[in-house]
Chain A
Amino acid sequence: MIPELGQFALIIALCLAIAQSVLPMWGAQTNNLNLMSVGRTAASGQFLFLLIAFLCLAYSFVDNDFSVQYVANNSNTLLPIYYRISAVWGAHEGSLLLWVLALSGWGFAVAVKSRSLPDDVIARVLAVMGMISIGFILFTLLTSNPFDRMFPAAAEGRDLNPLLQDPGLVIHPPMLYMGYVGFSVAFAFAIAALISGKLDSAWVRWSRPWANIAWVFLTIGITLGSWWAYHELGWGGWWFWDPVENASFMPWLVATALIHSLAVTEKRATFKSWTVLLSILVFSLSLLGTFLVRSGVLVSVHSFASDPARGVYILAFLAVVVGGSLTLYAWRSVQFSTGGRFEVMSKETMLLLNNVLLVVAMLTILIGTLYPLFLDALGLPKLSVGPPYFSAVFVPLMLPLIFLMGLGPIAKWRRISISELFHKLKFLLAIAVILGVILPIAIYRDTTIMTSLGIAAGGWAFATAVYAVARLIMKRDKTTSVFKSLSKVPRALYGMSVAHIGMGIFIFGVVFTSAFSDQKEIAVKVGTSVDLAGYSFLLRGVGPNQGPNYQAMRAQVDVTQDNVPIVTLEPEKRVYTVQRNPMTEASIDEGLFRDLYVALGEPVSPGEWGLRIYYRPFVQWIWIGAMLMAIGGILGATDKRYRASANRAA
């Protein structure tokens, strides 16, 4: 009964989405207020009914209703309750339901928070979001229905994939989807502007915080994914340049370009058509990512061809959205005014170059990700494009970007003098270079050109971001206190500064981890120890350990440094009761300056076990830095001027 209710709610949501996309758009074109006002009601209703559908599926999981095929495939009575709830989005069908729920959630938020927007703008925005909803709800109903029953019902479920039984994976997909789907708002604003021909400062003030918040979700989502891979995959790595990861990184890069381009459009009323194009591009890449991950095309072109229903649907939808919006763009974007004038040497130019570098970086990843698929489809010899390739082409693109990242916040709009800028920044540049040389040598007695260059880049990003705020404080007049002038700095500036500081910290983490990591993969007899990076790892014993839905062998590894005990790590090798796959559960001693990471391998001989031991310096800085970027995004999106425009007519 409950699954049928969910199915029914999903169908009602589809009807509401159709109403939401047709009536307000028509109303906006014919200037009919009644029709326009349908948008808000339909968007709220659509969210309500999708929430009901989602809760019905969650209930089926909690209730262990194995007559529902999706539940039977992805759950089990032994599965702990919190993983039974996260199993709702543990596989294809349920994650699509989460996708449409997130989409309607954004639509609902726009409907509620947009009282001060002109009626025709909001009507068009909601209509475009409704159209996207139609596409995805239809996709769910036609090809991936999570409520399908099976007869006879299964006696027991096949359990959730053990890799997904991790706290990181409980919140990673919702965050990532909120990010992916959040760009539908910026996309809808862009399409509305193209249809109406109006792109004024109010438009940007509206579109910008939405894009920022979506970017924050995407940043958090990607960070959690990386954190999960580090903890759960057991190889001590944090980024694998896997196509699935690339699928989420490509929209992030262009979204980063977009939030910078929006800044120029808001402050200087220029780059309008470029901003609109980026809005379209980010959402298109989100759809492309969905296609790559959901269609099976990544496993191989042939597995896609053998079961093409889902893939062909998304591909067709992608073609309609991208093709339609680009046609509209080509037809209507010329009408936007070109905005304020600026010289070649100006902040505007720097931000445009930032955008060019980010878009080229995205295209590089796109080429690297799709190249093997193209060769495969053309019948040419198969090829692997892996981390060495991406490091080789990506790093050269990032270095100039980070250099610009330091100049941009300090540079003036319209026109800058090179000598003045150099005069302001030469001190910081010197600090960065000195840091790059000294820091690796001081800590590790070793460096290479690339390591020093990387640390200098991180130091540069960090120092210039601090200076961007500090110079306002230094310029204050003598009568105001430091604290008071700090409180007067606009929150958006703090946001930029925190995000750029986060980038600096992230770079430190990446460079130190890749340059000074150490690892050993070794057979160890119980009672003997292994030395790595100044630490001694003693395998004290290995014994059985019973979990709720798995059996494990658990090792005790005593870690000491100069005979001082540091920690006892307890890595496990688990075999889950239902799926019977051996799983590595690494044990990690996390620290601000280094992680010690031990994974248990197979028994080599009686009383002798394989151990993988990793020393990962500064690896936590990667996620700390990324989280600071997200916090910066939140600060930027909640600046006074956006709150003011949200409250004005409320």
Chain B
Amino acid sequence: MNKIIALFVCLLATQLVYAEIINVQPQYEDRYQSLLEELRCLVCQNQTLADSSSELATDLRVQVKDMLEQGSSDQQILDFMSARYGDFVLYTPPVKSHTLFLWLGPFALLLIGVVTALWMIAQRAKQAPTISEADQQRLHNLLADQDTGEK
């Protein structure tokens, strides 16, 4: 629902008809598209530049197109954007001290989870049989009783 509300804010910003379509030279099309998927529309709630039709997004798309045509590499374009608008504009958070847990956390958790699970299973498999010796003796006696009873 919040996504929808924010989308509306975005759409309101585009009330004045704006040329959202930018024709990119064919040789840059693939890189252009994938760069737009990596960059966030700053005034929308959670939309990539590719998905947004807000005025700011259109400006940024023109910027991406211009830089591509001037021969910038993908990394140079992303660096330019994050220098100008902060890391918020990047959908792939850069690895920094305060994002270490974000990047390493999942794999650390996986390691902890798998090791713990296997360790617990190994412990259980090593345990003595569920039937204790006293129980086994009793079972033995019971069976013996049954045998005599049948005779």
Residues of A within 8 A of B (CB): 91-92, 161, 163-164, 233, 235, 237, 240, 242-244, 293, 296, 298-299, 338, 340-344, 348-349, 352-353, 356-357, 359-360, 363-364, 367-368, 371, 375, 380-389, 392-393, 396-397, 519-523, 580-583, 601-604, 610-611
B80: chain A residues at CB < 8 Å are: none
Which residue from chain A places its CB closest to the CB of B99 in the assembled complex? A383
Q: Which of B4, B14, B38, B110 gathers most chain A CB within 10 Å? A: B110
Contacts A240-B46, A244-B3 given; indicate if A523 touches B90 (C-beta within 8 A): no
Contacts A92-B1, A382-B86, A386-B40 given; indicate if A364 touches B21 (C-beta within 8 A): no
Check A384–B121 contact: CB distance below 8 A: no
Contacts A244-B1, A380-B98 given; indicate if A389 touches B92 (C-beta within 8 A): yes
Contacts A235-B51, A242-B3, A381-B86 given; indicate if A522 touches B23 (C-beta within 8 A): yes
Check A384–B17 contact: CB distance below 8 A: no
Check B14–A582 contact: CB distance below 8 A: yes
CA distance A235 to B53 in the complex (A): 11
Which residue from chain A places its CB closest to the CB of B101 in the assembled complex? A367
Chain A binding site: helix, strand, loop or mixed by DSSP? mixed
Check B87–A367 contact: CB distance below 8 A: no
From A298, A375, A397, B106 is in contact (CB under 8 Å) with A397
Task: Please name 18 further chain A to chain B contacts, defined as beta carbons within 8 Å, in addition to the given A360-B109, A393-B107, A602-B17, sorted by A numbering.
Answer: A237-B51, A298-B2, A299-B5, A344-B118, A353-B117, A356-B113, A360-B110, A380-B98, A381-B86, A381-B87, A384-B87, A386-B46, A388-B91, A582-B14, A601-B20, A602-B21, A610-B20, A611-B21
B28: chain A residues at CB < 8 Å are: none
Check A381–B88 contact: CB distance below 8 A: yes
Q: State the interface size on chain B (CB cutoff 8 A).
A: 59
Q: Which of B18, B33, B93, B106 gathers most chain A CB within 10 Å? A: B106
CA distance A386 to B124 in the complex (A): 41
Contacts A382-B86, A397-B110, A522-B21 given; indicate if A389 touches B93 (C-beta within 8 A): yes
- Closest 8 pairs between A and B when the two form their complex, measured CB to CB: A386-B91, A610-B21, A364-B106, A388-B92, A356-B113, A382-B88, A235-B51, A523-B21
Chain B binding site: helix, strand, loop or mixed by DSSP? helix
CA distance A386 to B91 in the complex (A): 5
B2: chain A residues at CB < 8 Å are: 243-244, 293, 296, 298-299
CA distance A92 to B110 in the complex (A): 37
A343: chain B residues at CB < 8 Å are: 125
From A356, A359, A382, A581, B11 is in contact (CB under 8 Å) with A581
Q: Is B67 an interface residue (CB 8 A)?
A: no
Check B117–A235 contact: CB distance below 8 A: no
Interface residues of B in 1-29 (CB under 8 A from A): 1-8, 11-12, 14-15, 17-23, 29
CA distance A360 to B102 in the complex (A): 13
CA distance A581 to B7 in the complex (A): 10
Contacts A360-B110, A388-B38, A519-B33 given; indicate if A582 touches B11 (C-beta within 8 A): yes
